[in-house]
Each structure stands twice: as C-alpha cells, then as structure tokens.
Structure 1
Amino acid sequence: MKKNNQEAADKITFKNLRRLYFFALLTIAITIILSQFLVQYNLKQQLSDSKIINISGKQRMLSQKIVKEILILNYVSTNVSPQKISHLKEVLSLWKTTQNALENGSDSLAFPKEKSETLTKLYREIKPNFTTIAETTDLFLLNLEQKNNLTNNQKLVQLVLENEGVFLSKMNQIVTQYDLEAHEKVTEQRKIEYWIFGFTLLVLLLEFLFIFRPTNKKIEKTDRETFIF
C-alpha cells in the first residue's frame, strides 16, 4: 500500500515537473520570437530614420539649386528657353512636395505624421520662409513665361535670397533634430533588447533551479530506490 502511494506521488511530481518544463520552454520560445520581432522593427525604424535624415538634408541642396537657377535665369541667360523654365519648375515641384511630406507625413514615402514637439515647432518656424520662396519663385517663373513685369523680378530674386538663408539655417536645425531623435531611439531600443536578454537568462536560471535540478535529483532517487529494491 505504501509503495502504491509512493508511486502515485512520484507520478504527480513528474507530472508537475513536466508542466513546468513545457511552460519554461514556451516562455523561452515566446521571448525569442518577441526579441526577433523587436530586432526587425528596430531595423525598419533605423532605415526609416536614415531615409528621413537623408531626404531632409537634400532639401537644403534643392533650395540652393532653386536659388542658383533663379540667379542664372535673371542675370546670366540672355535667352531664357522654355527648357530652362521647365527644369526650374521640376526642381521647385520636387522641393515643395518633399517639404510637405516631411512636415505632414506621407504614406508612400513612409514618413510619420506624428512628430516630437521640437520638430513640430521647427517646421512651424520654417513654414513662412518656405512659403515665401515657393510663391515668389512661382511668380518669378510666371513673369518669365509671360515676359511681363520683368523689372519686378529683381525684387523677387532679392526676396528669395533673403528667405533662402533663413530656410537653410532652420533646415539644418531640423536635420540635426532628426539625427538626435534617431540616436535616442537606438539607445532606447538597445535598453529594451538588454531587458529581453536578461529576462531570457533569468528564465533559463529558474528552469535550471526549479525544473532540471529537481528532476535530476528525483531521477537519481528513483534509481537508488529501484536498485535497493
């Protein structure tokens, strides 16, 4: 009778250990899966941040290109061809579209709509200068196409030059802020990965202390009792 009770108790013990063992394996599997998802998400975020920093940096180059084309058309070119006007229109259109996507977000370019307070403030500050350059350049091109108010273009060029300097300065601040926030994200993501790694090690340690070691002792005890019997 005593032997039957002992066997029943052993079965219950092994059953409980088996449940703990499968629970531990499941926990480790879930941790590994979550860790992999986090790594992939982090890589995607870093690529997105890198793309935004790169394109926002190109906005400075495009604004300088617009100014250069305006100066050439106003002071250098003796014969303003439709091709030159068309080229400046294309550059201006790309500049405006990209700036709008950076400021308001874009699904096609994977630019986020939500921004930090600092970036929102910087885009709000740069908006008047951007709008002035865009509208002034449009008017400048219209005068060239219609060959009308050409004498007024001198003032328009000066207005573009005044705002382009401010635009460049504030765009530099925006690029710097994007870079700063990207580094902060990487630091935060690295901390999360360390926490997951530490949690995985903790699970393995608990599994060793409460599952593998008790199971090993139970097996050794069973073997000794079987041998004595």
Structure 2
Amino acid sequence: MKKKVIFTFILFIIIVLSSQIIFHFDIKRQYYDAEIINKTGKQRMFSQKLTKIALLANNAINTDDFSSKINDFEESFKNFTDGNHYINNIDLDFYESPYLVDLYKTNNLYFSTLETASLAIINDATNQETFRNNLKVIINNEEQFLNSMDKIVNEYQKISERKISNFEKIQLFYNLGTLVLLFYVLFFIIIPLFKQNGKFTGKIN
C-alpha cells in the first residue's frame, strides 16, 4: 500500500508540473503569435499611409506644404521599412509552413519595388518627373503588396488556430489523465484503506 501511495503521489506531481510547463509555454506562444499578427497587420497600414502621403505630396507640388509632406513621407517610409525588418526577422522554421515562406518571397518582391520607388522620391523630391513616375510605381504595386500581406496575416492566424486546437487536445489528455489518477486513488488506495480500517476495528471489538 505504501508503494502505491508513493507511486500515485509522484505521478500526480509529474502530471501537474508538466501541464503547468506546457500551459506556460503555450501562453507565451499565443502572445508571440498575437504580436506577429498585429505587426503584419500594421504593415498593411504603413503601406496605405505611404501611398496616401505620396498622393498628398503630389497635390502639394509647387506649394509651401510640399516640404512638409515630403518629411511626412520620409517618416512613413521609415515606419514601413522598420515593419518589414521586423516581419522578415521572424523565424519561419518555427511555423513549419512552406506556403508562408512562399508568401514572404512574393511580398518581398513588392516591398523592394515600393522601397526603390520611395527612395527615388526622397532622394530627388524636387524633380517632378522622377516624383510622378515613382508615384505611379507605388500606386501600381500597393494593391499587390496589400494582397500578399493579407495572405500572410491569414496564414499566421490559421497556424495559430491550429496550435490552439492542438493545445486543447493536450489539455484534454491531461484532464483525462488526472481523472484516471483520481479513480485509481479512490478504488485502489482510499477504499482499500477504509476496508482495512474496518477489519482492524472489527478485530478490536
């Protein structure tokens, strides 16, 4: 009986500790996934803002506001490139999705085009021909960039949902394990102990 109690106690500790460790890491994973989805979503916003400010700057050519609009464009471009740096430093091996890798390759092609056109505007903003030619490039590539970002965000969400589903299955497994352990304690430890105590009391009487 003593061995059964020790075995049950050790098993219970293992189940509790392992479930807590898994739960802790899954919470961290969910937070990380949420942050990535948020960052990739913001990258869409930065792209749209870049195009919007470029159009405003185009309308402000030959006005006193033009210099201010170009400064806004530079700031928006910095946010855009910083966002791209972040999402391209994510360890894609962690997500085990070849499709996600392909989406990144496509997205980076459009990003490079937008980056080149934006830098051309920033470096030679007073040249109206250069400005308008590169503005056309930005406008013509924005939609494709946004579509590729949408696909990346959706893929991250799908992967996150699958991981949550897998975690729920693991959690169910641990709950069943705990339930089985409780039944074991009840039928093989507690009830036999009561029976032994009853027999012992009967002998005394």
- TM-score, normalised on structure 2? 0.90
Q: 1:156 to 1:85 in 2, by over 3 A?
A: same
1:81-101, CA deviations, whole angstroms, 9 ceiling, x for partnerless residues? Answer: 544333222221121121222
In the alignment, which residue of structure 1 is the partner of 2:79? 94
Q: Give distance in 1, aligned partners of 2:175 and 2:149.
A: 39
Query: Given the alignment, which residue of 185, 192, 208 partners 2:170?
Result: 192
* Alpha-carbon distance in structure 1 between the residues aligned to 2:192 and 2:37: 55
Q: After alignment, is 191-200 or 95-104 more displaced?
A: 95-104
Deviation at 1:28, TM superposition (A): 1.5
Give distance in 2, aligned partners of 1:87 and 1:24. 66
The letter of the residue matching 2:146 is L
Which of the numbers 160, 163, 174 marks the counterpart of 2:138?
A: 160
Measure the CA separation in 2 of the matches of 1:74 and 1:220: 94
Q: For residue 96 of structure 1, what is the amino acid of its counterpart?
A: T
Structure 1 unaligned blocks of 5 or more: 1-16, 106-111
Work out whether residues 111 and 145 of structure 2, in 8 Å CA contact, stay in contact via their aligned partners in 1: yes
* TM superposition score normalised by structure 1: 0.81
SS of equivalent to 1:104: coil
Q: 1:118 aligns with which of 89, 99, 109?
A: 99
1:79 is displaced (CA, Å) by 2.9
Percent identity (aligned): 26
- What is the distance in 1 between the residues matched to 2:48 and 2:77? 11
| Mapped pair 1:66 → 2:44 | no
**Bigger CA drift: 211-220 or 193-202?**
211-220
Per mean C-alpha deviation after superposition, the further-off stretch among 74-83 and 30-39 is 74-83
RMSD of the alignment, in Å?
Answer: 1.8
Larger radius of gyration: 1
Mapped to 2, the partners of 1:81 and 1:175 lie a distance apart of 34
Rounded to whole Å, the distance in 1 between the matches of 2:113 and 2:82 is 15
Inter-partner Cα distance in structure 1 for 2:118 and 2:181: 64
Contact 2:15 2:178 in 1 (8 A): yes
